[in-house]
Chains A and B, each alone.
Chain A
Amino acid sequence: MDKVIVENLKVKKGNVAILRGISLTIRTHEILAVIGPAGSGKTTFLRCLNRLIDLEPELKPEGRITLEGVKIYGEGTDVSFLRRRIGMVFAVPNPLPMSILDNLTLGLRIHGLGGSGPITLERVERSLKAAYLWEEVKDRLKESALKLSGGQQQRLCLARSIMVDPELLLLDEPCSGLDPISTAKIEEALQGLKREMSIVLVTNNVKQASRCSDRTAFLLMGDLVEINNTDQIFTNPQDGRTSDYVSGRFG
């Protein structure tokens, strides 16, 4: 089952091409890892999927992306609803300067889905448990989210993004600033979450891609070099550049 179909996605900044025609699909209930050296367009690709790229008016995406058959860049797309269906976790944890609970319920309040009451609290507990954070914060939900450690903050951001039940979750190098234990917790959380949604994991860490993804896409200088099952990419890559990168010969 294909969740998202990307066809010939191009992004230019002035005359410089950042993405040069990417075509791939994201399947339901899979973790798709996107790897590639810095500057290969991984983050730009991710930000096209939930139209966060709209925040940078100098970047103009071309091509076609559909989420369950509906064009993401179509006329009259409800961007707010689109972003409710497509959650995102950023490279640098960005909890907001409010309580842990308010951080979690922000999405509900934005979309007019309530924000208090027993149903919401149940949801909060479920999300925090899915993000492996419940035990650490269950007694301090009213405290400021900024008091949490970096790893806890990132798991809070993960919990926050799944509060509104997205179908697709985008993660932009979510573990780049975290210690190994926090990283392991997030990777574990992702394995549980993929039962409910599709996940795109952009990562600088090739080992992380091999550990926890089902399929892997390798981007290089804005080109999609190869996409295949993760086993294949790491044991039997079809392209010489892929094998050089995953074996650590460059990048």
Chain B
Amino acid sequence: MRKKITESVIEAIIHISASLAIVGLVLIFIFIGKEALHILTSSEVRQEAGLSRLFLPHSPEPGVPKEFAWQPVSDIPKYSLFPLMVGTLKVTLVALLFALPLALGAAIFSSEFAPSWLREIIKPSIELLAGIPSVVLGFFALMVMATAIQNALGLDYRLNAINAGIALGLAVIPIVFTVAEDALTAVPQSFREGSIALGATSWQTAWRVVLPAAFPGIFAACVLGFGRAIGETMIVLMSSGNAAIMSFLPTYPLRSLSATIAAELGEVVHGSPHYHVLFFIGTLLFIFTFILNLIGQLFVERLKDRLSGSRA
């Protein structure tokens, strides 16, 4: 009887803590969403920073050509999110171009080719990268990497999307590596043996059998890496130059959505249009990463189904 009571108490505690996490998440979203909603509801905010101002080109004064500009604290505040979105996508793209080949290559090497003793060194070492605080990575990119990259490529700007993207890539690599490596090692050994017994080399086995079998997991790894890159703040804030320039060139400085919030929310006038726009940016990021994580999870489930054969 006594055992039964402790069991139900423990069960209740676990229940409550699980629910609290979900409630917390929902409350955060409601709070951010509520502040962001003023963009749509408050006429005062809408006049200065309505949806059309956020997303469409706008001319600040009559006679001045229409432009995309993020200058929220100038005499005539300009709230175009376009430069920020371009900056975010630019730096994310560079990060993924840098990180995905390295992370996936390392995952394939570790799971398919490395002897077990080497694998036991590689895996924890790369996963240790995830433990480096992003402010340290940012600092490194700001002080060391930026100069090296500028000199190597002969760039005009010391801080630019290439520098920030590579630094961001260092934060993305461990996530992509871990998920992809797990997906590859989850492929049953019997698949490999079947292929090798047919005369396939290790490469042929990896390419024709293991990779296709693990594809949903590898795709999920890429999606999660993308989500991490979009949401990462400190690295980009420190290593990108943080200038909201409307340019698609990776050699120019940039400002990302997340870095904008971090840099401006501390000094913004409470309740001003600028304040609400920052919350709107936060909502966008929240929805974006939420959807990406959802897609990632879905593909991990598909991997399980595919490998167990219940739905292939």
Contact = CB atoms under 8 A, between A and B. Distances in A.
Interface string A216-244: 00000000000000000000000000000
A118 B209 CA distance: 24
A83 B194 contact: no
Contacts of A178: none
Contacts of B312: 97, 144, 146-147
A106 B198 contact: yes
B309 A94 contact: no
A110 B194 contact: no
Contacts of A111: 199
Interface stretch (B8-16, B60-68, B200-208): B200-208
Contacts of A84: 198-199
A147 B311 CA distance: 8
B306 A97 contact: yes
B105 interface: no
Contacts of A55: 192-193, 196
B307 A90 contact: no
A59 interface: no
A93 B25 CA distance: 45
B194 A90 contact: yes
A217 B182 CA distance: 42
A97 B198 contact: no
Interface stretch (A119-127, A156-164, A188-196): A156-164
Contacts of A90: 190, 193-194, 197
Interface residues of B, number: 23
Contacts of A106: 195, 198, 200, 208-209
A82 B196 CA distance: 11
A87 interface: yes
A109 B204 CA distance: 10
B99 interface: no
A201 B196 CA distance: 20
Contact of A110 (B188, B193, B200, B307): B200
Interface of B: 115, 188, 190-201, 204, 208-209, 212-213, 306-307, 309, 312
21 contacts: A55-B192, A79-B199, A80-B199, A81-B199, A83-B198, A84-B199, A87-B198, A90-B193, A90-B197, A92-B190, A94-B193, A97-B213, A97-B306, A97-B309, A106-B195, A107-B198, A107-B199, A110-B208, A157-B194, A164-B198, A164-B199
What are the 5 A-B residue pairs with the smallest beta carbon separation, nearest first? A146-B309, A83-B199, A144-B312, A94-B190, A88-B197
Given A96-B213, A111-B199, 14 more contacts: A50-B197, A52-B197, A55-B192, A80-B199, A82-B199, A83-B198, A90-B194, A90-B197, A94-B190, A96-B195, A96-B209, A97-B213, A106-B195, A107-B198
